[in-house]
Amino acid sequence: MPQNSLDHGRIVSLIWGIADDVLRDLYVRGKYRDVILPFTVLRRLDSVLAPTREAVRSMKKTLDDAGIADQDAPLRDAANQDFYNTSDFSFQDLRHTSNATRLRQNFEAYLDGFSPNVQEIIDNFELRNQLPRLTKADALGALIEKFLAPDLDLSPAGIDNHGMGTVFEELVRRFNEDNNEEAGEHWTPRDAVRLMTRLMFEPIAEAIPSGTYRLYDGAMGTGGMLTVAEETLHQLTEPSGKKVSTHLYGQEINAETYAIAKADLILKGDGRAADNIVGGPEYSTLSNDAFAGQEFDFMLSNPPYGKSWKTDQDRLGGAKKIIDPRFVVTHDGDSEYSLVTRSSDGQLMFLANLISKMKQGTELGSRIASVHNGSSLFTGDAGQGESNIRRWVIENDWLEAIVALPLKMFYNTGIATYVWVLTNRKEQRRKGKVQLIDATGWSTPLRKNLGEKSVEVSPSDADQVLEALKAFDQYANPDYSKVFDGADFGYHKITIERPLRIVGVDPQRVYTAKEIKQLKEEGVRDETAPAVIKKVLPHAATADPMHGRYEVRIDGRARVVEYEPDTELRDTEQVPLTEPAGEHADGIEAFFRREVLPYATDTWIDASKTKIGYEISFTRHFYKPAPMRTLEEIQADIRALEVETDDLIAEIAGED
């Protein structure tokens, strides 16, 4: 019988009570999870395997007698599950072992009997490492006894797979909230996940046909994003009678959270999906892609931000030697266009990983929802990895929208966060456009803070975000939604040079590199001194002062020369890609002649250093200036201060 939320809450409370009863004096509260989560998994699996236990043992003997080494598939068939246990023990057998040392030995044999996929969960939970402490305190038997209590029925008859998954996720949530300093690293709040999945699915919900879809998260934590995405997809398609099946794929470097994700899927009866997720310390998404070359329909992620990826960078060969096709691509004629960001923050590298897995040959293509902090919008100079990723995304017209989330949304940080929504199948009206949505004001206060988290995005708040997204350029209130051309975020970074001027140099002589070096070290700079000539161009060259080619007379003949630039006077400017050219050749020239040349007539642009960059400034586009106070309000404050001052003076004088 399906369990309601009250039943789930009762079971969670019972399991939570076990932690307090048995572990209180053994572990600090934040470490209860190290024991309770794996024991919850084991008790459920033990109950599920009970009806076929003898069949599995019999099959194991048959396979051993026949000398068959690859036993996983037939043992799964014998268990009628995607997991099994071939040991001679069950929880019921273990409870009757009174000697603590023997109990530990039998329990270890019980753990060793599980199938490889469950062994992976046990190993990543590091449960075996807890056994010496539990044995020494004689707590192992007490734990087993508590989990076998009649009122804690974790068998399929007592709670179905979905209900068991709900119970496990609630336990994880409670433990995460008790460990606020760690929660944000591995667990994204459910309200944020639901909003992300709605942003990913709802705009195309009606166009999703019946079929099989692959979902992927490259930084999956405990797997919550994948399971919520799966639920959301079914909720959106089932009312219209569509038959949709899903396959979940994910990768996670943290051993414990990977174990939680894998266990959650197995507890929900989705053992096949559990086989499609990989993790552990050796499986860093950036340096060891477990799904290289694969494509997915829907992808979402909350990658770590502000966290160094230097170790991954070194494993990939170092910043300058990375050749991974996810991070070195062909763009704008450059076959070695680098998306490699600074080693101090790899969050946009995770986005590049998602993009590399977009489906190219289907009508729907792929959709991505990825959450990032504010630095993803603007850090990185033109030509650097972060800016290159933004340019690559926008110039390929993959960026559909960016949604600014409310502050105080996450457990361990109150900073600004943003959901990037990408697709390689934009609808016609969105071609070449990017929508920015300011949802910072659409939130509901929590009755009690959870770490840094003080607000949530309620369903009605999320409705407002989706309304703005779907309305696109027809949304009524520009204070909350704006639509831009992609080029509006781009700029040329130009390098402005001025000549090296040294007192006493010959204005008609060409100086060698060695002489110029000596002049820089020993000469006296003066803005009124002659410029130092470093090169004479061929006779066919034409003067172009804007680009540093000047006509002078050398030995009585007109020649085109280049001056040595003074690095101390070097400057840069950002010229919008949309800068109007006017009567000039392009926007760069128009900007240079208007903003630079009138103030420094000997400047030129070093075109070899010109680079294209992209940045997105929510603050600039949604800036709301605070209204200025009226003169009457200011005067009233001054008068009030004067009265207060007079009273204080009178009081002091009276006391004297």
Domain membership of residue 600 (yes or no) is: yes
pLDDT band of residue 186 (cuts 50, 70, 90) is very low
Cβ(398)–Cβ(424) under 8 Å?
A: yes
Residue 648: its pLDDT value, please? 84
What is the rounded average pLDDT for all residues in the chain? 91
Question: pTM to 2 decimals?
Answer: 0.86
pLDDT band of residue 555 (cuts 50, 70, 90) is confident
Domain membership of residue 646 (yes or no) is: yes
Q: In terms of Cα–Cα distance, which of 440, 399, 389 is closest to 418? A: 440
Residue 536: its pLDDT value, please? 94
pLDDT band of residue 6 (cuts 50, 70, 90) is low
Sequence-distant (6+) residues with CB within 8 A of 569 are 497, 498
**How many angstroms separate the CA atoms of 523 and 564, rounded?**
14
In this predicted structure, the answer to whether residue 344 has a pLDDT above a threshold of 50 is yes
Residues 91 and 240 in one domain: no
The continuous run of DSSP H or E covering 462 comes out as helix 459-471
Residue 181: its pLDDT value, please? 47
Q: DSSP letter string over 184-204?
A: HHH---HHHHHHHHHHHHGGG
Which of 194-203, 260-269, 637-646 has the highest average model confidence (pLDDT)? 194-203
* Type of residue found at 457: V
E runs forming strands in 305-364? 328-331, 334-338
Residues 69 and 84 in one domain: yes
Tokens describing residue 244: 């949709």
Residue 180: its pLDDT value, please? 53
CATH of the domain at 434: 3.40.50.150
Residue 271: its pLDDT value, please? 77
Q: What is the DSSP letter of 366?
A: -
Helix, coil or strand: residue 58: helix
Residue 177: its pLDDT value, please? 67
Q: In terms of Cα–Cα distance, which of 252, 255, 339, 249 is closest to 291? A: 249
Cβ(281)–Cβ(323) under 8 Å?
A: no
Tokens describing residue 288: 């060891």
Q: In terms of Cα–Cα distance, which of 49, 190, 65 is closest to 114? A: 49
**How many angstroms separate the CA atoms of 465 and 286, rounded?**
31
Relative to beta strand 533-536, strand 444-450 is unpaired
Q: How many domains does the chain have?
A: 4
In this predicted structure, the answer to whether residue 600 has a pLDDT above a threshold of 80 is yes
In this predicted structure, the answer to whether residue 183 has a pLDDT above a threshold of 50 is no
Domain membership of residue 374 (yes or no) is: yes
Residues 200 and 123 in one domain: no
Residues 123 and 165 in one domain: yes
In this predicted structure, the answer to whether residue 2 has a pLDDT above a threshold of 50 is no
Residues 88 and 232 in one domain: no
Q: How many CB atoms lie within 10 A of CB 652?
A: 9
pLDDT in tens, 366-378: 999 999 999 999 9
User: Residue 395 to residues 53, 439, 489, 641: CA-CA distances in angstroms?
Assistant: 58, 25, 10, 58
> Of residues 183 and 197, which shows the higher confidence score?
197
pLDDT in tens, 495-548: 999 999 999 999 999 999 999 999 999 999 999 999 999 999 998 999 999 999
CA angle 275–277–281, rounded 5-degree value:
120
Relative to beta strand 481-485, strand 490-497 is unpaired
Residue that has been written with the tokens 């919900």 in this structure: 205
Out of 175, 203, 219, pick the residue that ends a domain. Answer: 175
Residue 275: its pLDDT value, please? 87
Domain membership of residue 205 (yes or no) is: yes
**How many angstroms separate the CA atoms of 234 and 230, rounded?**
6
The least confident of 237-246, 350-359, 380-389, 639-648 is 639-648
Cβ(330)–Cβ(379) under 8 Å?
A: no
Cβ(87)–Cβ(112) under 8 Å?
A: yes
Q: In terms of Cα–Cα distance, which of 386, 214, 423 is closest to 309? A: 386
Residues 419 and 467 in one domain: yes
| Greatest distance between any 2 Cα atoms in the chain | 110
Residues 575 and 480 in one domain: no
Domain membership of residue 621 (yes or no) is: no
Domain membership of residue 388 (yes or no) is: yes
pLDDT band of residue 187 (cuts 50, 70, 90) is low
Cβ(49)–Cβ(85) under 8 Å?
A: yes
The least confident of 34-48, 194-208, 383-397, 638-652 is 638-652
In this predicted structure, the answer to whether residue 173 has a pLDDT above a threshold of 90 is no
Parent domain of 195: 179-491
User: Residue 34 to residues 28, 40, 257, 599: CA-CA distances in angstroms?
Assistant: 11, 11, 11, 67
pLDDT band of residue 1 (cuts 50, 70, 90) is very low
Counting residues of the chain whose pLDDT is more than 90, the rounded percentage is 73
Cβ(196)–Cβ(371) under 8 Å?
A: yes
In this predicted structure, the answer to whether residue 182 has a pLDDT above a threshold of 60 is no
Domain membership of residue 20 (yes or no) is: yes
| CA 613 from centre of chain | 21
**How many angstroms separate the CA atoms of 613 and 573, rounded?**
12
Domain membership of residue 21 (yes or no) is: yes
Out of 441, 476, 491, pick the residue that ends a domain. Answer: 491
Residue 158: its pLDDT value, please? 87
> Of residues 306 and 62, which shows the higher confidence score?
62
Q: DSSP letter string over 131-181?
A: HHHHHHTT-HHHHHHHHT-TT---STTTS-HHHHHHHHHHHHHHHHHHTHH
Q: What is the DSSP letter of 406?
A: P
In this predicted structure, the answer to whether residue 3 has a pLDDT above a threshold of 60 is no
Residues 278 and 380 in one domain: yes
Cβ(263)–Cβ(168) under 8 Å?
A: yes
Residues 170 and 184 in one domain: no
Tokens describing residue 234: 């079914």
Cβ(200)–Cβ(419) under 8 Å?
A: no
Cβ(199)–Cβ(234) under 8 Å?
A: no
Which of 135-139, 385-389, 645-649 has the highest average model confidence (pLDDT)? 385-389
The continuous run of DSSP H or E covering 645 comes out as helix 631-655
**How many angstroms separate the CA atoms of 610 and 386, rounded?**
17
pLDDT in tens, 467-478: 999 999 999 999
Cβ(387)–Cβ(613) under 8 Å?
A: yes
Residues 600 and 652 in one domain: no
Residues 479 and 604 in one domain: no
**How many angstroms separate the CA atoms of 128 and 107, rounded?**
10
E runs forming strands in 515-568? 533-536, 550-554, 557-563
Residues 160 and 97 in one domain: yes
**Taking the chain, what is the end-to-end CA distance rounded to the nearest angstrom?**
85
Mean pLDDT in residue range 71-85: 93
Q: DSSP letter string over 609-631?
A: G-EEEE---HHHHT--PPPPPPH
pLDDT in tens, 100-145: 889 999 999 999 999 999 999 999 999 999 999 999 988 999 999 9
Q: What is the DSSP letter of 405?
A: P
**How many angstroms separate the CA atoms of 568 and 497, rounded?**
10
Tokens describing residue 274: 């559990």
In this predicted structure, the answer to whether residue 400 has a pLDDT above a threshold of 60 is yes
Cβ(532)–Cβ(563) under 8 Å?
A: yes
Helix, coil or strand: residue 96: coil
Tokens describing residue 172: 């994880």
